[in-house]
Structure 1
Amino acid sequence: MTTDVQTTPSMPRLNEPAPAFDAPTTHGRKTLEDYRGQWLVLFSHPADFTPVCTTEFIAFAKRHADFQALGCELLGLSIDSNFSHIAWERNIKEKFGVEIGFPIIADLSMQVAKAYGMIQPGASDTSAVRATFIIDPNGVLRAMVYYPMSNGRSIDEFVRLVKALQTSDEHGVATPEGWQPGDKVIVPPPATAEQAEARMAEGYECSDWYFCKKAL
């Protein structure tokens, strides 16, 4: 079975439409448009039946409900067949007691992987690296993170990042390092000298005119 995808000539870019895809998965064919109106975490792994990838999939599966509570779905990908994906899912359930409840793209043609820049020649010409893409409800790519073959991702960080992006969108603010819901957020800095002069008297928690926080 082939994979049809609208490719782009270069790496995907933040705050631009994510590359469209129409691909076979363990849950039937999926397109990017299927996820319109909700957040999506699309992530690749080098290969099925490998130890580090197994730990990541177990962690993603255990946090699946937390992502869904944020209006966010998960979609995995590797350059393996659907048969391999299904066998691996069954193995994870049998050996680790964890059920994989989200689809996995079978990208034997590597078209989706290439469109998203998941193939890094310095790491491998035939396997996708550990790439993670967060796509918003409008199909816009909002974040992307690449990890080496040898080291697994922190799934907690992606839950945190989705929450942070949603908070920034809703309130028009930025979030500081390590931000968690309930922490203070960063107020956008003044854009003019007049606004800078007024900033310190606007009631925010300010260290200086350009660095102010507030509680939500």
Structure 2
Amino acid sequence: MTIRLNDIAPNFTVDSTAGELTLHDWIGDSYAILFSHPKDFTPVCTTEFGAVAQLSPEFSKRNTKVMGVSVDTVEEHVKWKRDIAAFSGSPADFPIIDDTSLAVSKLYQMLPADAYLPD
């Protein structure tokens, strides 16, 4: 599946640090940014999630919600949010979803081509 400009983003329901979320319901009448990094607690991922945490007030001013995607569990994300806040000086007050199944990563084609080969 290819996603192009002006396409409706594929919907999904997932567990997150904000509870169970369905993308389209969560977006409501806002804009949304879905961004990902492969793993919690890695230096680059923490730095970039920290930058988003610092920018959260600016996104809110623009009626824009942010949701992070990572392959770890909600429990790990909760711990990671504390690390992100300590690093960036800003709370990571956006949901981070549990994509241990890689369902969202595959839905949005965020993985290398060989990840889609049959087992």
Please give the range of the TM-score, normalised by the shorter of the 2 chains.
0.7 to 0.9
What RMSD over aligned residues (CA atoms) do the two structures have, in Å?
1.5
The runs of 5 or more residues in structure 2 that have no matched partner are: none
Query: Which residue among 10, 17, 25 is the counterpart of 2:8?
Result: 17
* Distance in 1 of aligned mates of 2:73 and 2:83: 15
Q: 1:105 aligns with which of 88, 97, 105?
A: 97
Mapped partners of 2:3, 2:49: distance in 1: 24
Name the SS of the counterpart of 2:110 in structure 1: coil
1:85 aligns to what SS in structure 2?
A: helix
SS state at 2:6 partner: coil
Aligned AA for 1:18?
Answer: A
Counterpart of 1:20, as a letter, is N
Residue correspondences, number: 114
The equivalent of 2:69 in structure 1 is 77
- Any idea what SS the aligned residue of 1:52 has? helix
- Contact residue 77 and residue 104 of structure 1 kept, 8 A: yes
Q: Stretches of 4+ moved more than 6 A in 1?
A: none
Per-residue deviation, 1:35: 0.7
* Separation in structure 2 between the aligned mates of residue 25 and residue 102 of structure 1, nearest angstrom: 10
Equivalent runs, 1:1-216 vs 2, <5 Å: 10-33=1-24, 34-121=26-113, 125=115
Q: Secondary structure at the match of 1:112?
A: helix
CA distance in 1, matches of 2:76, 2:110: 19
Structure 2 SS opposite 1:24: strand
Aligned partners of 2:68 and 2:15: how far apart in 1?
12
% of aligned pairs identical? 40
2:89 and 2:76 map into 1 onto residues whose CA distance is 19
The structure with the largest helix share of the pair is 2
* Amino acid of the structure 1 residue aligned with 2:9: A
- The letter for the 1-side match of 2:22 is T
Q: Deviations over 1:71-125 (max 9, x none)?
A: 1010000111111111111123345433111000111111111111111247xx4
Distance 1:94 1:15 in 2: 37
Q: Give the whole-Å Cα distance in 2 for the aligned partners of 1:35 and 1:96.
A: 25
Answer yes or no: is the 8 Å Cα contact 1:21–1:112 preserved in 2. Answer: yes
Show structure 1 runs of 5+ residues with no match: 1-9, 126-216
Residue deviations 1:117-174 (CA, integer Å, cap 9, x gap): 111247xx4xxxxxxxxxxxxxxxxxxxxxxxxxxxxxxxxxxxxxxxxxxxxxxxxx
Relative contact order, higher structure (CA 8 A, sep 6+): 2
TM, length-normalised to structure 1: 0.50
CA contact (8 A) 1:12 1:115 kept: no
